[in-house]
Amino acid sequence: MARIEGIDPKQTPFPMRQVFKKVRKMLGRDLTPQKIAARVPRVFWAYALTEWLLGQKAKVPQRLRSLVLLRTAVRVGCPF
C-alpha cells in the first residue's frame, strides 16, 4: 500500500489519459507508480519518456520485455 494516494486517471488531462489508456491496454490495469507520478505532471512525463526511450533501445522485443518486467515484479513481491 502506497503512502501517497494516486490520482484518478479520469481526473487527469487528456494526454495523460491517453498514456493511462495505452498502459491499461498493455497490462490490463492502471499501475500505482504511474498514478502517483501523475500528481506532478513534470515527473509523470519524465517517467513516461524514460520508459518509452528504454523500450525503444531494447534489443529484446517490447512484448517479451513487458512480460519479464511483470514476472520479476511478481517474484520480488512488488505490490503493483
Instruction: List pLDDT tens digits, range 35-50.
Output: 989 999 999 999 888 8
Confidence of residue 1 (pLDDT cuts 50, 70, 90): low
pTM of the model: 0.67
Length of the chain, in residues? 80
